[in-house]
Amino acid sequence: MKYNQLENSDLKVSEICLGTMTFGEQNTEDDAHDQLDMAADYGVNFIDTAEMYPVAPRAETQGLTEAYVGSWLKHQKREDLIVATKITGPSRGFEWIRGGPRVTAEHINAAIDGSLKRLQTDYVDLYQIHWPDRYVPMFGSTSYDIKNEHDTTPIMAQLEALSVLVDAGKVRYIGLSNETPYGVSEFNRCAKELGLPHIVSIQNAYHLLNRTFEAGLAETCRHENVGLLAYSPLAFGHLSGKYLENPQAKGRVTQFPQFTQRYSKINVPEALQAYAFIAENAGLTLTQLGLAFVRSRWFTSSTIIGATNLEQLKENLETVHIEPSGEVFNQVEKVHQQYPNPAP
């Protein structure tokens, strides 16, 4: 397992991060502990979770993911692990989280205290805003519509509140998720202006069917020294190939169809078939090609994988040994030019 320095921090994160959003919905506590044990045995030192997990979000299960991680974490050598979690942003409902989540100082303090209690730890290594407090198009929406703007906590005020957590030792570093070039730049502009902690990471979707990060965010993150934590590297399981073989295969896509609209867009099936063809000719599975591609990008600090069983997890973890040739990636580029970002 390779370890990468997370920009502007002293965190050396494994190139594979274990995502946990299935814990508490598709996976039991015992399942969760088995996955965490396997990941650690393979050298994974980086675990990502969130206060709103598991997915699909429900009042009855909210917080179970952190609790399952916490009941495992209390038996581990804490200093050997890098634990990341997230505060829930507004604009998606979830009234059961603090009466309607926001990213204000009051909400930030309540959210971190809840997360620390569930995780059974005194601190988290990386604390992320799950999505912006302000309006931005996301989760399949790509066009900014000023009619959707709403009152928001100023970025400077959010950063000041997060800085208090760093000073208190509850959080080591701060990051963003589902952010834009403007958001990354503005957070770090405020940090420089006020001498506050910089953003060290951004957790955004990135995979063969969605390479929109490469447009504005790659340049922004390079100059702002912000590392990408790539989530959904297999596009909700589409890049495992299982839905090509059986559109009704068991998985998140069929279990939670409300989260899959972005994968129902034009050219998704054609792109998937083209990437599957490249993988087969290279003697690879589509999973191996998809994860190796994300891991190979210069801006990827860690690739967040998730699984619902140990067999899937083992396959994902062992892709760290897969290094496709330059010719394979040249073929990937040709498909990307033909079907650019069909699932943004």
Residue 146 covered by a domain: yes
Q: What is the pLDDT of residues 90-132, one digit of tens each?
A: 967 799 999 999 999 999 999 999 999 999 999 999 999 999 9
Containing structural domain, residue 127: 3-237+293-326
Per DSSP, the three-state class of 67 is helix
Residue 44 covered by a domain: yes
Residue 11 covered by a domain: yes
Burial class (CB in 10 A: 0-12, 13-18, 19+), 16: buried
| Residue 53 backbone phi and psi in degrees, to 5 | -70, 155
Whether residue 245 has pLDDT greater than 80: no
CA pseudo-torsion sign 49, 50, 53, 56: negative
Whether residue 255 has pLDDT greater than 90: no
Residue 252 covered by a domain: no
User: How many domains does one find in the chain?
Assistant: 1
The secondary structure of the chain in percent helix, strand, coil, rounded to multiples of 5, reads 45, 15, 40
| Residue 6 backbone phi and psi in degrees, to 5 | -75, 125
Give 29's pLDDT tier (boundaries 50, 70, 90).
Answer: very high
Q: What percent of the chain has pLDDT over 70?
A: 97
> Which pLDDT score, from 0 to 100, does residue 258 have?
66
Segment 197-209 shows an average pLDDT of 98
Could you please report the per-residue DSSP string of 244-260?
Answer: HH-TT-SSHHHH-GGG-
Residue 13 belongs to domain with CATH number: 3.20.20.100
Residue 228 covered by a domain: yes
> Which pLDDT score, from 0 to 100, does residue 139 have?
79
Give 310's pLDDT tier (boundaries 50, 70, 90).
Answer: very high
With contact defined as beta carbons under 8 Å apart, do 267 and 339 qualify? yes
pTM given for the model: 0.96
Report which of residues 254 and 224 the model is more confident about: 224
Pairing of strands 12-14, 3-5: antiparallel
Residue 305 covered by a domain: yes
Whether residue 253 has pLDDT greater than 90: no
Give the N- to C-terminal CA distance of the chain in Å, as an integer.
29
Residue 156 covered by a domain: yes
Q: What percent of the chain has pLDDT over 90?
A: 88
Residue 336 covered by a domain: no
Kindly name the residue from 3, 42, 53, 123 that is annotated as catalytic: 53
Active site residue 53: yes
